[in-house]
Amino acid sequence: MSQTAALSAASAGAPLEATVIERRDLRDDDIAIDIAAAGICHSDIHQVREEWGTAIFPMVPGHEIAGVVSAVGDGVTRYNVGDRVGVGCMVDSCGDCGYCKDGQEQWCVQGAVMTYNGEGYDGEPTMGGYSQQVVVSERFAVRIPDALDLDVAAPLLCAGITTYNPLKRWGAGPGTRVAVVGLGGLGHLGVKFAAALGAEVTVLSQSLAKQADGERFGATDYRATSDPSTFTDLAGSFDLILNTVSANLPFDQYLALLRPTGAMVNVGAPSEPSSFQAFSLIGGSKVLAGSNIGGIPQTQEMLDFAAAHGIAAEVERISANQVNEAYDRVVASDVRYRFVIDTATIGA
Ligand code: NAP
Ligand code: ZN
């Protein structure tokens, strides 16, 4: 076992405080990573505040991890000490089921092991990336291209793959019109990826406050959802709506913005149930769908695509003692566009 500094919440809703945790000895296929940067995803807040049901405490959140390999197990073949790597939302899966074999580890029939607020197959609780070091199987690490700095790459490990995956699956590309709802951590990367894939992108935000940024990220249209004319002007416009909002939306209003057969894909994960009228789908044979992160091969594909297209997260770097305040700012939609923790400041 080795010890490492981390930020931990003692119980549901408790503030994050510096502590020391243990990481396991390297197994054959393990790598140890010196973490340089850890992104703050809204999912971290949902889980620390136990908004998604019972969670495991003490909790060290963090599933947007970027760092450098510091040691490798005897059987490691993919990475060497000094390699720049990332870890996202998963740290293990059975490796044997059809989904794992297909590189869709997030659907593993045994249950993928989440990076934190999860339990490993060894029965130990998992501890995430708000920490200075992590030990993980090389199968759940991805290579960070040299073109991407570690702090702007970290958010790609969750926010990046979560938006890239549904954009690819639902065919965002030349000749398609895509709306991204919510210009936060996921949303700003959704805009960048959709534009790089060749789609015509509209941002639907609560206000026009971030319009210049949205256009810089690649949107050609930017509308405020607080303005009722948005919903009349844009009725029947989109092939795809990517909903990244962490709270419930009035679905019927948004479904009316789809063209016939268009899809509204939800990645935002509010804690309360949602509702919609069946007729909002029936009329234009529309689709209401969801999407969950993405597998390891596609996460690598996304990072390589990002590097090739000059896509990185827009980040606000913070030190460990600013994390609790950052949580409140994310909840208040006051983030531009991802907080990233400089992990060197934990316990400093
Ligand atoms: P975020 O940075 O807080 O972004 C969410 C954005 O939604 C806000 O910036 C805001 O954008 C908008 N918004 C917030 N509250 C709203 C409200 N009441 N009404 C309308 N719009 C509102 O969060 P994030 O880290 O991007 O995560 C977004 C959601 O995705 C969270 O629920 C998270 O748990 C979930 N998530 C899901 C997956 C998955 O695999 N499906 C993966 C990661 C995260 P504007 O200011 O532009 O309106
Ligand atoms: Zn996340």
- Three-state SS string over 115-139 comes to CCCCECCCCCECCCCCECEEEEEHH
| Residue to substitute in 42, 210, 241, 338 for testing ligand 1 pocket (most ligand atoms within 8 angstroms of CB) | 42
Percent of the chain with pLDDT strictly greater than 90? 99
Q: Are 60 and 176 in contact (CB under 8 A)?
A: no
Per-residue pLDDT at 15? 98
pLDDT tens figures, 109-165: 999 999 999 999 999 999 999 999 999 999 999 999 999 999 999 999 999 999 999
Q: Is the peptide bond before 166 cis (omega within 30 degrees of 0)?
A: no
**Which atom of ligand 1 is the closest one to the Cα of 333?**
9
Question: For residue 165, which ligand has an atom nearest its CA?
Answer: 1
Mean pLDDT value of segment 283-298: 98
Distance 161 CA to ligand 1 centre (A): 15
The pLDDT value recorded for residue 348 is: 76
> What is the phi/psi pair of residue 220, to 5°?
-105, -10
Mean residue pLDDT of the chain comes to: 98
* pLDDT band, very low/low/confident/very high, at 347 (cuts 50, 70, 90): confident
CA-nearest residue, atom 1 of ligand 1 = 184
Q: Report how far apart, in Å, the C-alpha atoms of 327 and of each of 43, 156, 230, 322, 334 are.
A: 11, 19, 30, 9, 10
The count of other CB atoms within 10 Å of the CB of residue 53 is 8
Mean pLDDT of 276-286: 97
Identify the CA nearest to 150 among candidates 90, 85, 80, 78: 85
Ligand with the closest atom to the CA of 43: 1
pLDDT of res. 282? 98
Pairing of strands 177-181, 238-243: parallel
Taking a C-beta distance cutoff of 8 angstroms, is the pair 157, 144 a contact? no
pLDDT score of 172: 98
- List, in order, residues 6 or more apart from 12 with CB less than 8 Å away: 48, 49, 50, 55, 57
Residue carrying structure tokens 């210009």: 183
Instruction: Output the CA–CA distances (angstroms, integers) from residue 316 to 33, 44, 185, 277, 313, in the order listed.
Output: 23, 17, 11, 40, 10
206 lines ligand 1 (CB under 6 A): yes
Mean pLDDT of 268-272: 94
CA atoms in the 13 A half-sphere facing the CB of 65: 34
Element (H, E) at 260: strand 258-266
**Three-class SS state of 148:** coil
Residue with CA closest to ligand 1 atom 4: 184
Q: Is the CB of 166 under 6 A from ligand 1?
A: no
Among all bound ligands, the one having the nearest atom to the CA of 190 is: 1
Ligand 1 probe mutation, 49, 244, 327, most atoms within 8 A of CB:
244
Q: Which residues contact 113 (CB under 8 A, 6 or more apart)?
A: 90, 91, 92, 93, 119, 120, 121, 126
291 Cα nearest atom in ligand 1: 41
- How far apart, in whole angstroms, are the C-alpha atoms of residue 308 and residue 207? 32
Please give the share of the chain, as a percent, with pLDDT higher than 70: 100
Q: Model confidence over 182-215: pLDDT tens digits?
A: 999 999 999 999 999 999 999 999 999 999 999 9
Residue with the two structure tokens 């580890």 = 105
* Ligand 1 contact via 295 beta carbon (within 6 Å): no
Q: Which residues surround ligand 2, an ion (CB under 5 A)?
A: 41, 43, 158
Does the beta carbon of 158 sit less than 6 angstroms from any atom of ligand 1?
A: yes
pLDDT of residue 156: 99
Are 238 and 194 in contact by the 8 Å Cβ rule? The answer is no
- Residue 181's φ and ψ, nearest 5 degrees, are -100, 120
310 pLDDT higher than 90: yes
Band the pLDDT of 81: cuts 50, 70, 90.
Answer: very high
Quote the ligand 2 centre to 146 CA distance (angstroms): 23
Q: Which residues are bridge partners to 42 per DSSP?
A: none
Alpha helical stretches, state H, the chain: 42-48, 98-101, 150-153, 159-169, 185-196, 211-216, 229-233, 251-255, 278-282, 296-308, 323-331
Full-prediction pTM beyond 0.95? yes
Pick the atom of ligand 1 nearest to 106's CA. 40
Tally Cβ neighbours within 10 Å of residue 296: 20
